[in-house]
Amino acid sequence: MRPVRLGLAAAAVALAVAAAGCSSSSSTTTSSTPVKGGTVTYGFVSGNQPNWILPYDSPAYSSVANLDDLQQMLYRPLYWFGGQNDQPTVDYGLSVADRPVYADGGKTVVINLKGYKWSDGETVDAQDVIFWLHLMQAEPDGFYGFVPGDIPQDITSMSATGTDQVTLHLNQAYSSLWYTYNELSQITPLPAAWDVTSVGAAPGSGGCVTDSAADGWAKCKAVLSFLTAQAQQAGTYASSPIWTVVDGPWRLKSFNPNGDDAFVPNPKYSGSPKPRLAQVDFLTYTSPTALYTAMQTGELDIGLVPDNDLPVKPASGSPASPLPNYALQLSYSFSFYFYRVNFHSAFGAVFSQLYVRQALAYLVDQAGMDKAIYRGYGYPTTGPAPTEPANQWVPTVENGNGPYPFSIAKATSLLTSHGWTKVNGVMTCTDPAKCGPGIASGTQLKFTLDYATGVSGFPEEVDVYKSDASKAGVIINMVGETFNTIIGTAVPCSAGPSCTWQASMVGGWTYGPDYEPTGEEVFSTGAGANKGSYNNAQMNKLIAETNTSNSLSIYHTFATYASEQLPYIWMPDLAQVMAVSKNVHGVVFNPLQTLMPEYWYLTKS
């Protein structure tokens, strides 16, 4: 799946987190008269649209579209991150629980819920939090955010110490910042109506809330199996007695697995603000060009402007809109961009060599891609710490173009110095003793990279990379697939014949639900989102140190190591440019990409 801080270590962290508890309103101003009701349309490209409703996502369904553009509109997480502002911070005002209280030096956490209501009249209470935690205890590997040793395995006991209070006892003292931002952040309270094993069963009859390890979590496993089967029936999302029990500001009016979904206000939403719109429609288009055409004709209110339709980025301020009835907003995500390599694939022995990954990194012309494709809206990814929006997490090594600035000559020299020779234009291992363990004589530096076709700029980006890599004798077969197809197939796998994917590029990792950018969910051994099966003991050690300390220097040590070790191959990040109809107001694109249409409203033309 994110935070910005101000100053040094713990004191500054505490100040920044305290300041993050308030929501700010949109900067959009208008002299027109606001209208209650109306419909706003929001565009997706086919293959990138939401397709999974259960807020317990496996790695195959972990996408911003599913988490932020569907699930969180219907089902509120315990703590809300990324509010109506440009900061990647927790917003307690929008959360279903108050600020957690830490005691016993950080080994005890008390969570007090606010008493929100589910649409079936039940209260969002302590049992709903325990329900989610029990599911994770039963099937931790089924959740994309799971990291071995972290939540729920770092909890020694949990209990409802009041109707609306949960108390957790932890196995050691943790940083309160990290535990709130990266552990409690994962929890989504689930209703008793979902603790069932059949449609129409009495709420709570599944027994997951009262289950334990004594029976191997059998009841929770049965409940999760049932919920997963229901989530696979996407055509029933809007009518299901399961998914229609919501506590968020919206509920589904209709849902199409291939796109085009309609949301209407949940009249029983306990939070604030209440939606002013009568409906929000997600419309799906076959390509970025088709989506842009819909905005040109006025069919679509909000959508991404394709890179080739953007003016060159100005030195400051927002760019002039090429669409006369739309304003443009720059959206920086708290993320890093990359492509993954699969260390368990048949090519894993080659990818496991750091010098090979360094060569692959030297071949990425990030600045050139920005100039040729992204018109100044791109910027380098050089490590795990997002460089936009400006924040204190960025270590010195990530400044500028990072440790591996574009150089075909350096990539070539690295390979030849490690036993590779260009044979008929292809780098070939001719000295296995230098190439590295598991790399046989005659092995060629040729692999397949699957990339998401529906992401604007990616086809051009992979063409540039393929061309530059070939000049160093690295031959990359580029295969385009939809975003949803790739995240469903490029998942962690054990070495063997079934582990076929070699490399994949779907975009970036927007921090979440690990909102402090400590990386455990993507870099730690065995983590659910560590899809390429990267395994590095020193990396695990450095990540663990960030989890128990608020020290900025400890974080920078981790980030520097990750930047240089290349668990992923860094690719350019970019500010997305969103076009918003001038009749639509209250729209803010926060850096965590959480969609919040409850703030949106229309004005008279």
86 — alpha (psi -120 to 50), left (phi > 0) or beta?
alpha
Judged against a pLDDT cut of 90, whether residue 20 lies above it is answered with no
Instruction: Kindly report the backbone phi and psi dihedral angles of residue 222, in degrees, each rounded to the nearest multiple of 5, phi listed first.
Output: -65, -40
Give the model's confidence band at 33: pLDDT under 50 very low, under 70 low, under 90 confident, else very high: confident
Report whether 386 contacts 519 (CB < 8 A): no
Q: Is the pLDDT of residue 29 over 80?
A: no
CA–CA distance from 391 to each of 7, 13, 341, 387, 493 (Å)? 10, 12, 28, 7, 35
Name which of 83-92, 364-373, 549-558 the model is least confident about. Answer: 83-92
Q: Which of 220, 243, 275 is the last residue of a domain?
A: 220
**Single residue among 220, 236, 251 that ends a domain in this structure:** 220
Residue ranges of alpha helices (H) inside 139-262 are: 176-178, 218-231
The answer as to whether 1 is a domain residue is: no
Same domain, 410 and 554: yes
Query: Higher confidence at residue 172 or residue 88?
Result: 172
Q: According to the model, what pLDDT value does residue 30 have? A: 43
pLDDT by residue (tens digit) across 338-376?
999 999 999 999 999 999 999 999 999 999 999 999 999
Angle, helix 354-362 to helix 408-416, in steps of 10 degrees: 160
- Cα separation, 78 vs 247, in Å, equals 11
Residues 419 and 567 in one domain: yes
> Which pLDDT belongs to residue 10?
28
pLDDT number for residue 62? 87
CA 592 – CA 81 distance, rounded (Å): 7
Whole-angstrom distance, CA of residue 425 vs CA of residue 409:
15
3-state secondary structure of 409: helix
Q: What pLDDT shows up at residue 31?
A: 52
Contact 311, 320 (CB under 8 A): yes
> Quick check: is 58 in a domain?
no
Question: Which one of 220, 235, 263 terminates a domain?
Answer: 220
- The structure's pTM equals 0.87
Residue 216 and residue 341 in one domain = no
pLDDT at residue 19 tops 80: no
Q: Is position 586 within any domain?
A: no
Mean pLDDT lowest among 30-44, 148-162, 394-408, 556-570: 30-44
Candidates 1, 44, 145, 74; CA nearest to 483 is 44
What pLDDT, on a 0 to 100 scale, did the predictor assign at position 389? 86
Q: List the Cα angle 292/577/388 in 5-degree steps.
A: 155
The pLDDT > 70 percentage for the chain reads 95
Which residue in 220, 206, 186, 184 sits closest to 55, CA to CA?
186
Instruction: Answer whether residue 397 is part of any domain.
Output: yes
Position 107 in a domain: yes
Residues 6+ apart with CB under 8 A from 215: none
pLDDT value at 22 more than 60: no
Looking at residue 317, what is its pLDDT? 78
Does the pLDDT value for residue 448 go beyond 80?
yes
SS3 letters across 135-148: HHHHCHHHCCCCCC
Residue 435 scores a pLDDT above 70: yes
Q: Please check whether residue 236 lies inside any domain of the structure.
A: no
Residue 452 maps to which CATH number? 3.10.105.10
Query: Among residues of the chain, what percentage have pLDDT more than 90?
Result: 82
Mean local confidence (pLDDT), 561-569: 98
Q: Tell me the per-residue pLDDT of 570-589, one tens digit each, with 9 for 90 and over.
A: 999 999 899 999 999 999 99
Q: Is the pLDDT of residue 21 over 70?
A: no
| SS3 label, residue 227 | helix
Q: What pLDDT was estimated at residue 372?
A: 92
Question: pLDDT (tens digit, 9 = 90+) per residue, 368-418?
Answer: 999 999 999 999 999 999 999 888 899 999 999 999 999 999 999 999 999
Query: 353 lies in which domain range?
Result: 335-574
- Note the pLDDT of residue 27: 38
What confidence score (pLDDT) does residue 220 get? 98
50 vs 264: CA distance, rounded Å: 17
pLDDT for the residue numbered 86: 83
Q: What is the pLDDT of residue 88?
A: 87
Check residue 348 and give its pLDDT.
Answer: 96
List, for residues 211-254, the tens digit of each pLDDT value: 999 999 999 999 999 999 999 999 999 999 999 999 999 999 99
| 554: Cα separation from own chain's centroid | 24
pLDDT of residue 265: 98
Query: Which residues lie below 8 Å from residue 544, measured CB to CB, with a gap of 6+?
Result: none
In order of 48, 328, 373, 376, 577, the CA distances from 311 in angstroms are 25, 11, 12, 9, 11
Q: How much is the pLDDT for 236? A: 95
Does the pLDDT at position 454 exceed 90?
Answer: no
Q: What is the pLDDT of residue 85?
A: 86
Task: Provide the pLDDT confidence category of residue 190 given band limits of 50, 70 and 90.
Answer: very high
Do residues 213 and 348 both lie within one domain? Answer: no
Q: Domains in the chain: how many in total? A: 2
Does residue 520 lie in a domain region?
yes
Q: For residue 296, tell me if it sits in a domain.
A: no
**Cα 576 from chain centre:** 15
The token pair at 527 is 């983590």
